[in-house]
A and B are shown apart, each in its own frame.
Chain A
Amino acid sequence: MRKMQSVEADSCVENRISSFPDEVLERVLVFVKSHKDRSSVSLVCKDWYSADCWSRTHVFIGNCYSVSPEILVRRFPNIRSVTLKGKPRFSDFNLVPPNWGADIHSWLVVFASAYPFLEELRLKRMAVSDESLEYLARSFGNFRALSLVSCDGFSTDGLAAIATHCRNLTELDIQENGIDDLGGSWLSCFPESFASLEALNFANLSSEVSFDALERLVTRCKSLKVLKVNKNVTLEQLQRLLVRAPQLTELGTGSFSQELMPRQNAELESVFSHCKNLHTLSGLWEVSALYLQALYPACTNLTFLNLSYAALQSAQLAKLLSSCPHLRRLWVLDTVEDKGLEAVGSSCPLLEELRVFPADPYDQDAIGGGGGVTESGFVAVSRGCRNLHYVLYFCRQMTNAAVETVVRNCPDFTHFRLCIMNPCQPDYHTNEPMDEAFGAVVKACAKLQRLAISGLLTDRVFEYIGKYAKNLETLSVAFAGSSDRGMQYVLEGCPKLRKLEIRDCPFGNAALLSGLERYESMRSLWMSACHVTMNGCRLLARDMPRLNVEVIKEDENDDTRAEKVYVYRSVAGPRRDAPPFVLTL
């Protein structure tokens, strides 16, 4: 029936872009996987649009409110895998009140009838309840992969439902969620006959699971490639698991802490030496120098080392890194200090991504350059790691000169996120604003897609960004700028901008309204604690009917200020599930 439709519509050969029948086109399109490419494909012509609709099996929705489940299922009938993102990113930092929305349940209800063969669901910043998880587990018999990142609203009971009912589960990935941890019994809900698991990540859960059940699970799941356990798993237990699963490619250790006899230490080292397939290692919450060396044999093929929960010192890091010649991604705590970063620079020539997290973000002793990492560590890394293209760097001091040096050494940055932890802190040496630093970044890094700025910043930095950041897609701004011009520079430039998130900046209605034409080509705009008023938002809403202009109103008394503004394009119209504190204008 469908084929006849398209034949009728485009029966004349000259009208068709290609002379292939639709089925062939669909077969070809299967190989186009990235959703951006798929989007492009669907825009070529009607035939291609249709072919894309029928052949698409995976859909990515960056803002769950930009489309409704009904519209989605109408367009794409054959979806097996859905990725959904919900709340604005600043909700990770508690800037969005609870019960804001992004509830998965209404989606699941529609999916249950339209996509009974749904296999994968990956959610980020969505509200997920235990009822939803149970509903999911019971409604989709072929369900395979569940990934929940930064979600909230559910408890371990929901996980128990998944474990109990999803007979074909291959992946369960629970990361950094606001989960109500009621105990570890959920893991014991996997039936004894269940053996299909390939990836299990419960590293961020706090309750202890039955080790017995875990060991049996690991033993019978022969295809298990990813195992990330939580803190309660001891070193000895980890060892036993590794003996069962030497084929692991990704390992999240437990606490990596225990008192072992020397004999056991040697055994541990031996076990790790059999884990030659590991390319990703994380966890290590309580790692001590004593046992760290047991890891070395397993590090030969490591490409991603996540030490962001392990308070290592520089010497320990240096020794560990010397065993990891192929490292491409490294996450560390700033306990390693500049010296540790020097070791990174000298040991990791292939490094592409570095993230340095603060171990103690509020350490008052360290303010004013007392602790963590500084500009010199940053420079040291850039000297040795010329392939660096992703950096997330939390520090307490930085200089313009250092950043200029860094991007001179590494001009290929695609993601540059620098967080000088004291808001409005100027250049540590010259006391000038940090405008020139980020100016250097956008000038030198033509491929820059994501930028997060910090420190003392005037409108100048935005002038640079607007002028030079031609490929910038995501910009995060906090405590920066001096006037509306700042934001205007960005909206006038940055042709590829998709996400703009701003907090605590002196941008008002003039700035907001200067972007009228831009917002429809962007995913979203967030402005909080700026100078925008309700009237400004109303103007925006009136002039741009296809945008959802939402104001989060927590303060009942003040009618004029728009404390938190969230603007996004949508084909689904205004939200129907908005809580009372979200005003849609």
Chain B
Amino acid sequence: MQGGGGGGRASSGSSNNGSMSTVSKAEVIEQDYVGLSEVSSSYQTNKRTQQEVEVEEEDDHGTELELGLGLGLGLGAKVKPCAWGDYCRILTAKDFPSSMASPRVSVAGTKRAADSVAQELGSNAPCQVVGWPPIRAYRMNSLVSQAKASAEENGTDATSNPNAKKSLIKTNHPPNKIIDINKKSNGKKEKGNGKSQFVKVNMDGVPIGRKVDLNAHVSYQTLAQALEDMFHTPTSIRPNASQEVEAMEEATKCSKLLDGSSEFVLTYEDREGDWMLVGDVPWGMFLNTAKRLRIMRTSDANGLAPRFQEKGERQRSKPI
């Protein structure tokens, strides 16, 4: 369910552009508002007459957002900054060390020595705010477990539900969450993003193989579409006339590679050298395990493992 981090980051909020300095200032103010900054310079102090506000100018910690709020869990200027998103989690009473005796409240306008706070926590203390944002524990837990599930599968299919897989109906439908997967990989900082992952693609009846960059795609749909385009163009079809005709006919059916309605199916060879039907596993998992692709005649595809289970559990059964 990690759609929140999905695509379109750059576009949301037109104020993003050119507002880096504003943003960092906002962050800096935020740091100060927990009373952690030491450097004094005035920023809108005149607007807030009732409080002492000291704000750092651009600090060389970069623009990583620090959230050291309340509970004295903030980090001062001397401490390695962390983006609070890294470590935030809901704390329970058990998390509070019994020795935390110093005042922990630090909010707007209160100046507190960064030192004491930093000493208390050590330089690598994560930034944590209990119970914030105010979302019920139940909802938070279900978000967290969904996020975990997606993280385990490299951040794509957040909802790899084994129960869904239990369905007795096997189809060659593309995975359910095409659009979610799209959004998930788009813009998310995943390893492999930005790096190309070319794999060979061979099609039955076409002597010359091609290469396709898996990382340029975000879903099975786009990949299948690209392959269709790739094997449909005349240049990819070799001169042999009869083969050419055959190949063209075959090529027009490429777009149906994934739904099982064509004569061909898209398969891939995984790390262990087994050939599997494309489309059964979450996209991210596929990216990790696919070594090369083959557009195989359906008749030849009998006996392929249709479901990705743990290697030991995998059953061989005939695809539909």
Interface positions of A (Cβ within 8 A of B)? 90, 92-95, 97-98, 150, 176-178, 204, 208, 231-232, 234, 236, 255, 257-261, 264, 285-286, 288-291, 308-309, 311-313, 315-316, 333-335, 337-338, 357-372, 374-376, 394, 397, 419, 421-426, 428-429, 431-433, 452, 456-459, 476, 478-483, 485, 503-506, 529-531, 554-558, 561
Contacts and interface: CB of A to CB of B under 8 A. Distances in A.
A289 B44 contact: no
9 contacts: A93-B137, A97-B92, A98-B93, A290-B176, A359-B1, A364-B86, A366-B9, A431-B29, A503-B131
B161 A368 contact: no
A308 B96 CA distance: 31
Main secondary structure of the interface of A (DSSP, over half): loop
For the side of the interface on B, what is the size category?
A: 35 or more
Nearest to A377: B12
Nearest to B109: A482
B171 interface: yes
Contact of A358 (B48, B101, B135, B187): B135
B62 to A, nearest CB: 12
B50 A485 contact: yes
Contact of B51 (A258, A360, A361, A482): A482
Nearest to B96: A554
A509 to B, nearest CB: 13
Contact of A286 (B89, B103, B164, B183): B164
A208 B170 CA distance: 22
B169 A95 contact: no
A361 B85 CA distance: 8
Given A504-B70, A505-B107, A431 B22 contact: yes
A506 B106 CA distance: 7
Contacts of A290: 173, 176, 178
Contacts of B164: 234, 255, 257-259, 286
A483 B98 contact: no
A234 B167 contact: yes
A360 B5 contact: yes
B12 A338 contact: yes
Contact of A483 (B51, B129, B134): B51
Interface stretch (B114-122, B139-147, B195-203, B290-298): B139-147
A260 to B, nearest CB: 7
A369 B13 CA distance: 7
B6 interface: yes
Contacts of A429: 15, 22
Residue of B63, B105, B129 ringed by the most chain A CB atoms within 10 A? B105
A177 B141 CA distance: 11
Contacts of B96: 554-555
B158 interface: yes
A458 B51 contact: yes
Contacts of B13: 338, 369, 374-376, 397, 428
A288 B130 contact: no
A529 B176 contact: no
Contacts of B25: 431
A28 B256 CA distance: 71
Given A177-B138, A334-B4, A482-B109, A358 B131 contact: no
Interface of B: 1-6, 8-9, 12-16, 19, 22-23, 25-27, 29-30, 33-34, 44, 47-48, 50-51, 63, 65, 67, 69-71, 83-86, 88-93, 96, 98-101, 103-105, 107-110, 129-140, 142-143, 147, 158-159, 161, 163-164, 167, 169-171, 173, 176-180, 183, 187-189
Nearest to B138: A176
Q: Which 9 A-B pairs have the closest CB atoms?
A: A364-B85, A335-B3, A93-B131, A360-B4, A359-B4, A311-B3, A504-B70, A288-B176, A176-B138
A283 B237 CA distance: 49
Residue of B6, B27, B69, B91 ringed by the most chain A CB atoms within 10 A? B6
Given A458-B51, A555-B100, A368 B23 contact: yes
A366 B134 contact: no
Contact of B91 (A92, A94, A504): A94
Contacts of B129: 423
Given A236-B167, A423-B67, A529-B70, A94 B92 contact: yes
A59 to B, nearest CB: 26
Contacts of A97: 92-93
Contacts of B12: 337-338, 369-372, 374
Contacts of A312: 3
Given A309-B142, A426-B29, A480 B107 contact: yes
B108 A481 contact: yes
A335 B70 contact: no
Contacts of A375: 13
B110 to A, nearest CB: 6
Contacts of A422: 30, 65, 67, 84
Nearest to A417: B134
A342 to B, nearest CB: 12
Residue of A316, A359, A504 ringed by the most chain B CB atoms within 10 A? A504
A309 B2 CA distance: 11
Contacts of A483: 50-51, 109
Contact of A555 (B101, B108, B134, B161): B101
Given A364-B83, A366-B9, 6 more contacts: A94-B137, A311-B3, A334-B3, A357-B139, A424-B107, A431-B22
Contacts of A94: 90-93, 130-131, 137
B3 A506 contact: no
B318 to A, nearest CB: 17
A358 B133 contact: yes
Residue of B9, B107, B178 ringed by the most chain A CB atoms within 10 A? B107
